[in-house]
Amino acid sequence: MSTRPIQRARMAFTLVEAMVATVLLGTLLVSLYAGMSAGLSYTAMVREELRATQVMLEKLEGIRLYNWDQINTPGFIPTQFTAFYLPNPTNPATGSGVIYTGTLTIRPVQLDPPAPYADDLREVVVRVRWVGGGSGGGVVREREIRTLVSQYGLQNYIFSN
């Protein structure tokens, strides 16, 4: 009797071992691709939020260029605006990607307790909304930033009357 068939049987994988290895490899690959997909979606969401922050800061930086009379003139500063994720460099009114819609509100400051300088301050609120395309595709997102503007602020030193 020859011992070769027994040695071959011992050297080969059984069907159960091959199936377990296939299941483990499949689980590993699915997990790898799910992790990559989640990472890319998260990166896209963070980029959209960063662009929203840039849009809000752009509006606040523009406020610094107005004098006190212009800030207090109703309708002088537009209260509604639209921005794009990828604006067209030659025509900023057009672009592609996520569309950001926003509002800019300038209102008197309500201090508690009231202060004598309250009439010389205004609160500026910039809100931006967009429909996310990242990990929360189709989710409406909103961010807000606030600051104070003073009648005797920095704009008086930049642009003298």
Secondary structure of 14-73 in the HEC alphabet? CHHHHHHHHHHHHHHHHHHHHHHHHHHHHHHHHHHHHHHHHHHHHHHHHHCCCCHHHHHC
End-to-end CA gap in the chain: 112
Interval 111-155: pLDDT, tens: 889 888 889 999 999 999 999 875 556 889 999 999 999 988 766
Mean pLDDT in the chain? Answer: 86
- CB-neighbour burial class of residue 102 (10 A; exposed 0-12, middle 13-18, buried 19+): buried
Note down the domain range covering 133: 15-158
Residue 69 forms part of a structural domain: yes
* 32, two tokens: 């790898």
Does 151 fall in a domain?
A: yes
Residue 7 lies in a domain: no
The answer as to whether 5 is a domain residue is no
1 falls within a domain:
no
* Measured distance CA(142)–CA(99) in Å, rounded: 12
Confidence (pLDDT) at 15? 86
Q: Is residue 132 part of a domain?
A: yes
User: What's the total number of domains in the chain?
Assistant: 1
Render pLDDT for 17-51 as a digit per residue (tens, 0 to 9). Answer: 889 999 999 999 999 999 999 999 899 889 999 99
**Would the pTM of this model clear 0.95, i.e. be above it?**
no
Does the pLDDT of residue 1 top 60, yes or no? no
**What pLDDT score does 156 carry?**
62
Residue 4 domain flag:
no
